[in-house]
Amino acid sequence: MQSALRAIARELEKLRQRPPTKKELRQAQEYTIGLNELSLESTTNQIMWMGESIVAYGYAIDPDEVQAKLKSVTPEAIREVANFCFAVPQMGLALVGPVNEEKVQSWLEIFGAC
């Protein structure tokens, strides 16, 4: 468990320190936009999209609007969000099952939470 948590902590710190490359970001954007377009090929999914956006935002969001916003994301914006979300005060650790408090304390220390 400790080695897995150390690996996770290292990867989260990398995200905080280094924004994605332009190539990585472009690939992620294209992937997300492609999935969105594929999902909206069915009438049922189109209706669900409209219903969910009306409930959440009060109007039906045009998929082109979402794609434009996705394309406008910058590597630095991702780094800023990562610095906020993955800062130790923002993170939590959920445990399921019987736990040993000493182990939990050592796991929290991996993330610098103690």
Q: How many domains does the chain have?
A: 1
Give me the CATH number covering residue 43. Answer: 3.30.830.10
**Could you list the residue range(s) of the whole structural domain that residue 79 is in?**
11-87
Question: pTM for this one?
Answer: 0.72
Classify residue 4: in a domain, yes or no.
no
Classify residue 27: in a domain, yes or no.
yes
Q: Which pLDDT belongs to residue 113? A: 55
- List, as own/partner pairs, every contact residues 31-39 make where C-beta atoms lie below 8 angstroms and the sequence separation is at least 24, other chains included: 32/70, 33/67, 33/70, 33/71, 36/63, 36/66, 36/67, 37/63
Classify residue 45: in a domain, yes or no.
yes
User: pLDDT exceeding 70 applies to what percent of the chain?
Assistant: 98
Residues listed for the chain:
114
Q: Which pLDDT belongs to residue 114? A: 44
**72 or 112, greater pLDDT:** 72
Classify residue 69: in a domain, yes or no.
yes
The answer to whether 78 touches 25, Cβ cutoff 8 Å, is yes
Classify residue 52: in a domain, yes or no.
yes
Classify residue 99: in a domain, yes or no.
no
